[in-house]
Every structure is written in structure tokens, then in C-alpha cells.
Amino acid sequence: MSTELSGLEGLTRQDAMEGLAEAGPRGMESTELRKTISRKWDSAAVDRALADLQREGEAVEWKGRWIAVRHTEWSVGQVDQFEKGDALIRTGARREAGYFVSRRNLKGAIDKDRVLIRRVKKPRKRGDDRLPEATVVRVLDRPLRTLVGTLDWEGDRRWLVPFDPKVSLELEVVDGDKFLEDQYVVVEVLDLARGVQGPVKGRVIEVLGSADSPGVDVLVMLRHFRIPDSFPEAVLEESSRFSEDPIESDLLGRRDLTAEITVTNDGETARDFDDAISVEQRPDGGFRAGVHIADVSHYVSEGEPLDLEAFRRGTSVYFPDRAIPMLPESLSNGLCSLRPDVLRLTLSAFLEFSPDGEVESRSFDTTVIRSQRRLTYGEVRRVLEAPGAGDEKEYGAVLQTLQASEALARVLNRRRMARGSIDFDLPEGNVILDEEGFTVGVRPGERNIAHRIIEELMIAANEAVAFHLDGHGSPALFRVHDPPQPTSLEELRSVVKPLGLKLEGDLELLNPRALQALLTQAEGKPEEPFVSSLVLRAMQQAAYDPECRGHYALGSNHYTHFTSPIRRYPDLLVHRQLKKLLRASDPSEDGDSLLEPRLPSIAEHCSFTERRAERAERQLLQWKLVRLLAGRIGEKFSGRVTGVQPFGLFVQLSDYFVDGLVPIRSMADDFYVYEADSHRLIGQEKGQIYRLADQVEVVLAAVDPRQRGLSLAIVGMPEPRRSRPRRQRRRSPR
């Protein structure tokens, strides 16, 4: 795997770092260091090890000497650049903001660069809580190899206008006159010298098409986020070796569940079905449940091309008009998809619950099922909430399974809420596409009892598997959600206070019940969605980790991802480890001693691919909504204030679930002053106040295709007074 080091490379690095550790702050001359290490390793291996150490910021070559960074005053981090050029430097494994770097001190570094920095020693006033300032010493690694954007003309020269507005790079495109101005293209950077300012050159390697053409926006997202959308030949060849359905040898040693009532329950547009359920209520009021997950690990063997590609992708990515699967469709939509009336291999969690939802027993087994029915959320909701006269005949025994599932889900939800689990119910919009793929509308997202049945059963299965793996000391990936930082909670408390809401408790050790209580205070009020989003924003981001530290938001001590191995690599790894325990094998024989040291890098990679997919999905939705509204400039919309800043108001349009900005310069009926403590703008003469969660009527004033943003104006505001225009120096379109 690309993120793993071979044993020899690891040993070479270790030798190099030991030598530099002994050398101290003075370091070692390059020739001396190479001579020392080359006694054991060839020079090519040494060069690779030193390059890796420098790229990762553990050592640096400076004026002919190699020095361990920990012996210097320097730090290493990743550039997170603002649109106007300044940047934050994110340091450590969690990529937390550690330093501020002004544009002039970036020394040619750009967004996503890994850099060596030196803190700028400036006098600081008491109470100054701003980030310390730093300057870039050197660019250590520049992952940027290609850029996506459109072309702009300046005389006979062509310049790339990057899709990402944070990229401030001046890049001249050679032979750019061959391409149209409105076409999105992928440009290979040809001579991006580290740490050198000024324009560089690139060449077009792929034409994606005009943004007005269906599907081009998806291609832009895929290339921008570097999400692979085609499978290597070796992967397709391996997947083609499997039959369309399980063969007789696949069934050996599996528990036969084909006579049980098992069903899938997914969205109407679901593209793969990797989980099925079977539930019955016992005579004593308790429940017997089975959660049956596609046994992807039976087909995807560790270290084979399918496995390596699944790891590289990390997760499937879902766009409104298509999915970019982690596995080839012959597996994800075929052999591993739990379609009705066909045999499918599964890994099952069997759970017994008391009448009040307490887990009485957990067991696991490799199984084979035949799903009786493919149900949809809308169908299940109708059957449970508005039963019809013919349902008993139509659904037969499946109806009893659904009724038992509903009863169990309600019991599990009550128990989960009692332990402090936080239930977010944020409104979302799903775009409606026509036959050609153009966005024609927005449909509010729905969350009903059918969704909750699946949520509760999947959470219960994930907790059971995590408890089992952790209890047996099995190395695995766990789903970890750490408590929120006290500073974030303090900010949350100050924001909700003007709304008449209280966040009570010790912020250093805040029980999730306190956040649940805050959401309950807002329940049913106009500001409820806004408060939910604030609480979510105050949380830390969930991630994968080899350590089972629990899940704060769920109030769970043990949690992992087990239920979606078709679309998430961590689930596939968890399946393998669970099956090893089922075989009661010796961990040392099954390679666990080799897996354990690799888990941190696997966890980091899977967390990265998950965040990448989320950003791509979110940005595409924003882009589609902005383009949908581009033809409606001048129209009025209802909205709610979601953010108050000195430069204006952020307003979410109620029917479109998209934010726009009301610039303060457009609020010309008064002189508005920003009050940071109360998060509001106050008119100094008329006393008009705009605060968080206020409902407002706005006019769509403009659409910014570059920023994928909306400019709004409050209905009834007078036109801002125009100041006398100043003569401006002509600027490059870059």
C-alpha cells in the first residue's frame, strides 16, 4: 500500500534518524551521513529514506548538513491558504491551526504545501489570543501536480483560473489558444519550483468540457479532489473471475439463514444493498435481531489488486447523478449486493435485547441469506404509519418483521437518548435532475421511522462488533469521536445565550446530555435547525483510530464501522478481523503482528478519503444549487440568518438549503455596528437589529460562479450611495 513503508525502507529511515539524533543541533554533513548509513544500505535506499524524512518534516537538509527538525526552532505543517493569500499552518496529526503566515512570508508556498516554518518573534499584549505568526523557511513537499480550472486571456498569453479560489498560483498555459474560454481543463504543472515566486508553466492534459454540459461538474470535482473514477486493468481482471452468484464451495461452513425472513431497507435511489435485517419480538417482550452484512472480504483478499484499489479509494463517493464506487460494479452492484430472491454471502451479528433494549447476548457468524424483499424508506413508512387493507396479503411475514423492527427501534432510541446520545436532525436538500442531468429543483430531505429503524440497528451492530473486537484485544480500526474542545463549547454557549438558550455544565468535562438538553430547549422553535448546526459545528470530527476511545456524540464506549464494507474500507478490515476471531486462530499466524504497526497510517488514510468524499459531495451540491439560482436574479426568497460577521449576514434560503451573503455595504438604511458578544448587527440611528436565526426576506442580487456563492440584499433596503469612482491600475485577470 502506498502509505505503508516496506521493512527495509523503515529500517533505513530509523538508522538515519538515530544518526541525526546523536549529531544534535549541528547535524551532519551530507557526505558523512550517507557514509555512515551506507555501511548497511545502498545509496539509493539512503537517498529515498532521506527524501521521505524531509518530505514528512522529520529532518531537513540545510546548508549542506542534515539536521533533525526536533533539534531546531523550526516546525512543520501544512498550508491552509485563504483566498486573499494569507494562510494558516496546520500542525500535528489532527491538522489543528498552529500558526498564521502572512502572504509576504509564504515565500512562494501555496495551499496544501508541507512547509518548514520559523516563528516570528513579536511582542504580544496580555490577553492576545491570536495565533502566533510564522514565516516559511522551505517548502518540503508540494502534492500539487495538476490543477483544474478555466482559461483566461491576456494578449497572446493564456492563464489558468483555478477552480479552487484558494489557489493563488500564477500559471501560464502553453498552447492554451487551442481551447475555449469556458471549458474546464486539467493542467499539468510543468516547472513548479519549490519556494520560488512568480508565474510557472503548465500544459492541458485533459479537456472536461463546458460547465453548462451535463456531468462536467462531476468531472471537475473528481479531478479537483483527485478521486479515481476508473479501475486499473488488474482490478477489473480480478473481479471478472467471479461468477454472478455464489458457487457451491462458497457456501461451505456457513450458517444457512435462507429460511428466515430477511429484508433490505434503503432509499429509493440506493445503488447498492450491503445490509439486511431480521427481527422478531419474543413472548417476554424482548427482541431477537440479526444484522446481516455483505461478506465482501470473502471475495476481496488482502494484498490483491482489488484490495489495494479499495484501500486507495477508501470509500465510495455519491453524487446526485452517479456513484463512484470503491469496488467494481460487478461486486458492488452485483455479487456483493443483497438483492432479493438470490443467495448472498453475509457476515451476521445476532443480538438479543431485553424488553427495555439492554443487550443480553451477542454472537457472530458467517452466513448465507436470501433476502425476501427489497424495501424502500417511503414504502416502509407508509406500511407502518398508514397501513392499508391489503398489506397483510401483500407483505405476509415481512409485515411482522417490520412491526417488530419498529418496536425495537423505538426502544433502542429511548435507551440511547437516556445515556446522552445526541440526535441531529438537520434539514437537507436533495437536487432534482431532469432526464439530461440538469438541476431543475430541490426536494427537502426526509427522515422518518424507516430511516430510524436502520439507524438504530446499524448502531447496535457496530457497538456489538467493537465491544467484541476490543474485548479480545484484536487490532482493528475503531470509529472514534472525541469530546469537543472547551473553547468551542464556550463559543457555543455565548452564541446561544442571546437566543434565550442555556448550555449548562462544566465545559472541561461536558457530558453529552448537556448538549442534548440544549437541543431539546430549541426543539419546535424557528431556530431549531440553526442551533443543531451550531452544536454540530462545535463537535470534533469523527475519525478512524486503532484505539477504541468511544464515540462522544453517540454516548457509546465502543464503536466501529462494520455495516458497509461495499463502500468503506475500514468496514472491510473490521470484517477480516472479526472472521479471524470466529476461526479462533492464533493472531500471530494470521499476520496481526504485521497489521498492528500499520494501523495508524491506514486509519489516517481512511479518515482522509472520507473527508475528501464529503467535501466533494458538499461542494458539488453547492455548485448545482448556485447554478440553479443563476437565472433567478432579482427574485425574492425567504431565509434565515445563519451567521453574523462585521462584513455582513449569512442567510440560508429556506426552500433551497443554500447560503448567501448580505454584504454590510448593501445595508444602506442605517450605519450598522457589529457586536461580537451578542452576534448581531445593530443600526445606530433606527435601532434595527439583525441576529442569528432571524427570519428575513432577501433578493438575489448576484451569482458568483468563481466562488460558487450568492450575493443577497435585504428586501426594502435603499440602494447604497455610490462613492466617486477612483481610477484603478489595470490588473491582470489572474
Q: What is the pLDDT of residue 74?
A: 85
Contact 698, 650 (CB under 8 A): no
Q: What type of residue sits at position 99? A: Y
DSSP string, 498-523: GGT----S-GGG--HHHHHHHHHHHT
What is the distance between the alpha carbons of residues 400 and 404, in angstroms, rounded to a whole number? 6
pLDDT band at 26 (very low <50, low <70, confident <90, very high): confident
The CA distances from residue 364 to 88, 249, 275, 292, 576, in Å, are 47, 21, 15, 10, 13
Return the number of other C-beta atoms located less than 10 Å from residue 37's C-beta.
Answer: 21
Query: At residue 412, does pLDDT exceed 90?
Result: yes
Q: CA 680, CA 665: separation in Å to the nearest integer?
A: 16
Instruction: For residue 390, give the amino acid letter.
Output: G
Q: Which of 54-68, 258-272, 717-731 has the lowest mean pLDDT?
A: 717-731
Is residue 457 over pLDDT 70? yes
Q: Cell numbers of 656, please?
A: 433551497
* CA 369/CA 260 separation, integer angstroms: 8
Rounded to the nearest 5 percent, the helix, strand and coil shares of the chain are: 35, 30, 40
pLDDT tops 80 at residue 323: yes
Joined together, the cell numbers standing for residue 117 give 516554518
pLDDT-derived band of residue 729, with 50, 70 and 90 as boundaries? very low
Cell of 483: 469530546
- Residue 7, pLDDT > 90, answer no
Residue with cell string 454471502: 345
Cα of 410 vs its chain's centroid, Å: 29
The answer to whether residue 6 scores a pLDDT higher than 60 is no
pLDDT top residue among 502 and 707: 502
Query: Among 58-62, 316-320, 354-358, 557-561, whose mean pLDDT is lowest?
Result: 58-62
Specify whether the CB–CB gap between 129 and 185 falls below 8 A: no
The whole-angstrom separation of Cα 655 and Cα 582 is 50
Q: The dihedral of CA 686, 691, 696, 702: what is its sign?
A: positive
Instruction: Tell me the percentage of the chain whose pLDDT exceeds 70.
Output: 91
Spatial contact of 469 and 595, defined as CB atoms under 8 Å apart: no
Q: Is the pLDDT of residue 610 over 90?
A: yes
Could you tell me the pLDDT band of residue 198, with boundaries at 50, 70 and 90? low
Alpha-carbon torsion 213, 214, 219, 221, what sign? positive
Going by C-beta distance under 8 Å and a sequence separation of 6 or more, which residues neighbour residue 221? 227, 319, 616, 619, 620
The span from the CA of 80 to the CA of 88, in Å, is: 5
Cα–Cα distances in Å, from 350 out to 282, 288, 460, 461, 476?
A: 14, 8, 10, 8, 20
With bands split at pLDDT 50, 70 and 90, how would you rate the model's confidence at 93?
A: low
Highest mean pLDDT among 19-28, 139-148, 151-160, 344-353: 344-353
pTM attached to this predicted model: 0.85
CA 636 distance to own-chain centroid: 33
Amino acid (one-letter) located at 275: D
CB 153 within 8 A of CB 185: no
CB 274 within 8 A of CB 567: yes
pLDDT at 125 over 70: no
Domains and CATH numbers, the chain: 7-71 (1.10.10.10), 74-141 (2.40.50.690), 146-210 (2.40.50.640), 233-453+608-620 (no CATH), 486-539 (no CATH), 633-714 (2.40.50.140)
Over residues 702-719, the mean pLDDT reads: 91
Beta pairing partners, 442: 431
DSSP strands (E only) in 656-722: 658-663, 672-675, 680-683, 689-691, 695-704, 709-714
24, 71 in Cβ contact below 8 A? yes
pLDDT at 8 over 60: no
Name 218's Cβ contacts closer than 8 Å, sequence gap at least 6.
Answer: 319, 321, 322, 620
One-letter identity of residue 626 = V
Expressed in angstroms, the distance from the first to the final Cα of the chain is 39
pLDDT at 40: 54
